[in-house]
Amino acid sequence: MSHDFPAYRGEMEYCCLGCGKRYPGDSLLYTCPECGDVLLLENTRFGELKEHGGAYWRELFDRRASTRSNALRGVFRYYELLAPILDEEDICYLGEGITPVIEAAPALSAKVGVPFAYKNDGQNPSASFKDRGMACAFSYLKWLCRRQQWDEVLTVCASTGDTSAAAALYASYIGAPLKSVVLLPHGKVTPQQLSQPLGSGATVLELPGVFDDCMKVVEILAEKYRVALLNSKNAWRILGQESFAYEVAQWYGWDVSKLCIFVPVGNAGNITAIMSGFLKMHELGIVEALPRIFGVQSEHADPVYRYYSAPEGSREWKPVQVQPSVAQAAMIGNPVSFPRVRALASRFVKAAGEKAFQVVQVKEQQIMDAMIQANRHGHIACTQGGECLAGLMNARDLGLVGAGEHAVLDSTAHALKFSGFQSMYFENAFPPAYGITPDTALANRPELLLPEEARQGKDVMEFAREGAKAVVARLGLVEK
Ligand SMILES: *Cc1c(COP(=O)(O)O)cnc(C)c1O
Ligand SMILES: [Zn+2]
């Protein structure tokens, strides 16, 4: 037991967004047994946290930044705001959270015309933001297994690639009684993403179709069989992902009033969590004003954009059939968390004004161009990070981002997970369905300077002289 660990305990309840019914948080529940709608978790003793002012919490979280307690090193730095029913022994820390905020390279910022930063969530252990939510969901599972004395629990998820990588990682670290099964749309995750659950030893099952199809299968399993669902339908994941908001606020000295946060939207769990996190901090006086939140969607998977682009009063929710998208991790036509977005966006707008929540749409071409540009300026953006930059540029062109504002873009995964799309760009090899024509000036490929045979039958120095000569000729180097 570390003496840093908080004594405060809350009480968590599931709250249905459809009928408002509430259920105790000590059992696995994904949808409302009454009406089938999605749930959010609430700490019924949240009010007690208000006995302290905002300054108390700011100082506490700042102090915790130097903790040596494993349990509090990651997303649980903000323990009281996440799942304050867990005990120290339950918390699983694999290095998630506290990811760096990197200000845009000056040349890139000048080109975009708006000051901005990337928050590199690809620097999480499984190289995406999903680890934030998994750390919380798996810590809760440990807590639950301990209470229920379960001897075997099958964890399942459908995935566009990163959920399965994260779920398999945490399940394999914790080990018994947990066993991980992941369900993937065949051919719709990148080779790097596929290698992750395989390497963690999970059972990897594939089905034809797209993510939305796999999600339906997993929902049937979770409803009828004894499995633990780890998609963002699992409300414990949302709590963990709120940490993104807490970290942004802390990094900017708890003043987020001038920030515009850009978030790629797929299943819509992440943007839900980020809004929820900022609202909690606002309620406790930890931040005095809210930032503005911009959801970003590709025109090939844009149901949330379509909903919000209609004027209030005539909005109609309609899932869409997705088209191939380089923002593949967000290629979802029927986002499970849409009701959560609707609920939180309306609270957000009520607290911070109509322009505090918006959704922008980007083209596939813009996503790729933006990602390539970002990474040519020292960033490590994935395609979804490119999508955010494209979203910022469109928001700028539409006059949605004002002078004096500062954008923070969520690069939700590491560039390396999506290097196949970079290759397609450099080799002009996109299948027509993506609708992407690369800027050939940016194509970058390795150049073989000497044929394979050139190495044969020569000693190291002889070959080195020949190699150096070839490099000098290629670069036109001048002797000093
Ligand atoms: C899952 C994922 C998204 C989409 O997040 P949602 O919570 O589903 O909206 C975006 N980018 C990456 C890299 C992801 O893995
Ligand atoms: Zn209900």
3-state secondary structure of 413: strand
Please provide the DSSP assignment of 351-406 as one string.
Answer: HH-GGGEEEEEE-HHHHHHHHHHHHTTT--B-HHHHHHHHHHHHHHHTT-S-TT-E
Probe target for ligand 1 pocket from 38, 99, 119, 128, with the most ligand atoms within 8 Å of CB: 128
- pTM for this predicted structure: 0.96
What's domain 101-125+238-434's architecture? 3-Layer(aba) Sandwich (3.40)
Cα atoms found within 13 Å of the Cα of residue 61, Cβ hemisphere only = 26
- Extract the runs of DSSP E, i.e. beta strands, from 265-349: 292-298
Q: Answer whether 266 contacts ligand 1 (Cβ < 6 A).
A: yes
Q: Which ligand is nearest to the CA of 22?
A: 2
3-state secondary structure of 118: strand
The mean pLDDT of 274-290, rounded to a whole number, is 98
Q: Answer whether 295 contacts ligand 1 (Cβ < 6 A).
A: no
* Closest listed residue to residue 157, CA positions, set 170, 142, 175: 170
Three-state secondary structure along 166-178? Answer: HHHHHHHHHCCCE
Q: What is the pLDDT of residue 306?
A: 98
Q: What CA–CA distance (Å, rounded) separates 267 from 282? A: 25
Q: How confident is the model at residue 4 (pLDDT cuts 50, 70, 90)?
A: confident
Q: Answer whether 330 contacts ligand 1 (Cβ < 6 A).
A: yes
Probe target for ligand 1 pocket from 123, 157, 159, 162, with the most ligand atoms within 8 Å of CB: 162
Q: Which ligand is nearest to the CA of 33?
A: 2
* Closest listed residue to residue 336, CA positions, set 278, 272, 411, 292: 272
Mean pLDDT computed over every residue of the chain: 96
In the structure, how many helices (H) and strands (E) does the chain have?
15, 13
Q: Answer whether 385 contacts ligand 1 (Cβ < 6 A).
A: no
Identify the sign of the CA torsion 469, 472, 478, 480: negative
Q: Answer whether 361 contacts ligand 1 (Cβ < 6 A).
A: no
Q: How confident is the model at residue 17 (pLDDT cuts 50, 70, 90)?
A: very high
Question: How many angstroms is it from 22 CA to the middle of ligand 2?
Answer: 8
Q: Answer whether 124 contacts ligand 1 (Cβ < 6 A).
A: no
Residue 3 has pLDDT above 90, yes or no: no
Question: How many angstroms is it from 96 CA to the middle of ligand 1?
Answer: 16
Q: Which ligand is nearest to the CA of 18?
A: 2
Residue having the nearest C-alpha atom to atom 14 of ligand 1: 329
Q: What CA–CA distance (Å, rounded) separates 130 from 269? A: 10
Q: Which ligand is nearest to the CA of 267?
A: 1
Q: How confident is the model at residue 94 (pLDDT cuts 50, 70, 90)?
A: very high
Probe target for ligand 1 pocket from 265, 331, 337, 387, with the most ligand atoms within 8 Å of CB: 265
State the DSSP code for 75: G
Burial of 454 (0-12, 13-18, 19+ CB in 10 A): middle
The mean pLDDT of 335-345, rounded to a whole number, is 97
Q: How confident is the model at residue 1 (pLDDT cuts 50, 70, 90)?
A: low
Return the ligand 1 atom nearest residue 384 CA: 11
Return the ligand 1 atom nearest residue 130 CA: 15
